[in-house]
Structure 1
Amino acid sequence: MEKDLIKIYKRLKKILKKYEKPLISKMDLDSKYDLWSIKDVEFAGRKRNEVFFAGLIIQSKYVGFYYMPVYVDTSLKEVFKPELLKLLKGKSCFHIKSLDDKLEKQIDFALKKGYAMYKKRGWV
């Protein structure tokens, strides 16, 4: 069970980087990383030329994992296992204080589902 926030961040960033093409990172720092789809989309009745996908930020006591697909489609919560769901704070932010292989696989699975949903909507 990993509790070092920098190591947690690096492990999760490695998973997110798999989606860097066609998604792009606007922020790629030692403590903050994000992924965006740069494409004309319509979301919540508004036209946008980009949409956030996911991101990480090291906070003082946790790594924030921001996951926009669950904000876009709340039914994605159904694919979360209880271990991941209990870390959800608000609509789309998970507070990751420790990370084991099981939780890492759940986050990887959630990203795959979210990416598939974005692709189905034509956002990627």
Structure 2
Amino acid sequence: MKTDLIEIFQTIRAALQPYAALGFNNRTSSEEKYDLWSEKNLEIDGEKRTETFFVSVSINDDHVALELLPEGLPQHEETMVIKELDEPGMDLIENKVASGYKIFKEQEWV
């Protein structure tokens, strides 16, 4: 079980980085935050967008925060607060991100 916030962040970031090769761009890639965005022109619920948030992971004071999918989508994940990370927890995160990617592909947002 990982309890060091830097180690948790790095583990999650490493799992997210392959998505950059699948059509996402990252705006922030630092030692404390990593995020991915689609820069495809699209329309969601009548709102035209030139960029759409996909996922972010960041180190906060006493936890690592993970946010997935744009607000307004039924599948939007409220920010996950992560203070410990074990294998089942990492599997859950990877499955949620893969499901989010599937939504983006099905909607042709990436």
Question: Which residue, 86, 89, 97 being the options, matches 1:103?
Answer: 89
Structure 1 residues 71 and 56 mapped into 2: Cα distance closer, same or farther (>3 Å)?
A: farther
Pairing of 1:104-123 with structure 2 (within 5 A): 104-123=90-109
Cα contact 1:65–1:93 (8 A) shared by 2: yes
Find the counterpart in structure 1 of residue 13 from structure 2.
13
State how far apart, in whole Å, the 2-side matches of 1:99 and 1:106 are: 10
Cα deviation for residue 44 of structure 1 reads: 3.1
- Relative distance call for 1:11 and 1:71 in structure 2 (3 A) is farther
Contact 1:36 1:50 in 2 (8 A): yes
TM-score by length of 1: 0.82
Q: Helix, strand or coil: the match of 1:72?
A: coil
Q: Equivalences for 1:73-88 in 2 at 5 Å?
A: 73-74=74-75
The structure with the greater share of residues assigned to helix is 1
Q: Separation in 1 of the partners of 2:18 and 2:33?
A: 16
- Residue number in structure 2 paired with 1:49: 50
Percent identity reads 31
2:63/2:81 contact within 8 Å kept: yes
Residue 73 of structure 1: how far off its partner (Å): 2.7
Q: CA deviation at 1:14?
A: 0.5
Distance 1:4 1:71, change over 3 A: farther
Number of matched residues? 109
Please state how far the C-alpha of 1:72 moved relative to its aligned partner.
1.6
Deviation at 1:97, TM superposition (A): 0.6
